[in-house]
Amino acid sequence: MHVKMFTVGMLSTNCYIVSSKDTEEAILIDPGLDFSSEAKPILDYLAIGKIEAKFIVNTHGHDDHIKGNALFQQKVNIPICIHPLDAHFIETAEKDKFPANVALEDGAALSFGGETLKIMHTPGHTPGSICLVGEKIVFTGDTLFAGGIGRTDFPGGSMSDMAISLQKLASLPDYLLVYPGHGGTSMIGEEKRVNPFLTNQSKEWFF
Ligand SMILES: [Zn+2]
Ligand SMILES: [Zn+2]
């Protein structure tokens, strides 16, 4: 599995192309573009590598993660995948033109080119936030950042849901590489060591 990160939009969202080394099939995670010109390096990367994007996956429904969905739908016409609890964000943003096509429920497996990422439902930042878990990597959207977590004070956010979601993430193997929705990468083990929201002391902050 190969991961290419593009930082896009005014909120510096991490958009990822995750591709299979063997078959050049890929998924596109969180194309939160603010300008159509930001699509070019992503489309060029796909074209130069002869990589076929199979799905657009949104880790949650906030604008800074979904804004480029329609543009890529027009260019490559592939399904948009999101957790059902966040699908309404897309339908509102795109006025039903490009609705979510695939509902990503907890435990579902997303397969492309012989690779599989498992869906972990991690509500808290939004009701339908998900993480994508592979053998060595995890995409955490706006649930977990290097050294921090996503806000829970937006509509639908919940600090108590977030606490449970963070416990699920903390139960993953330490060696998993963390690719968050904003900022730099980390490891699950490193976050358990330094991230105040993943250490044991944090429990009293949540409840
Ligand atoms: Zn967000
Ligand atoms: Zn975000």
- For the stretch 1-46, pLDDT in tens is 999 999 999 999 999 999 998 889 999 999 999 988 999 999 999 9
CA of 157 to the centre of ligand 1 (A): 10
Output the CA 161–ligand 1 centroid distance in Å: 15
pTM assigned to the model: 0.94
| Interval between CA 32 and ligand 1 midpoint (Å) | 10
Q: Give the pLDDT mean for 136-159.
A: 96
DSSP labels, the chain: -EEEEEEETTTTEEEEEEE-TTT-EEEEE----SSGGGHHHHHHHHHHTT-EEEEEE-SS--HHHHTTHHHHHHHH---EEE-GGGHHHHHHHTTTSS---EE--TT-EEEETTEEEEEEE-TTSSTT-EEEE-SSEEEEETTEETTEE----STT--HHHHHHHHHHHHTS-TTPEEEESBS--EEHHHHHHH-TTTSGGGHHHH-
Neighbours of ion ligand 1 (CB under 5 A): 62, 142
pLDDT surpassing 90 at residue 74: no
**pLDDT at residue number 184:** 97
Ligand 1 center from residue 17 Cα (angstroms):
19
Report pLDDT for 121: 98
Q: Tell me, in angstroms, the distance from the centre of ligand 2 to residue 9's CA.
A: 10
If you measure from the C-alpha of residue 50 to the centroid of ligand 1, how many angstroms do you get, rounded to a whole number?
31
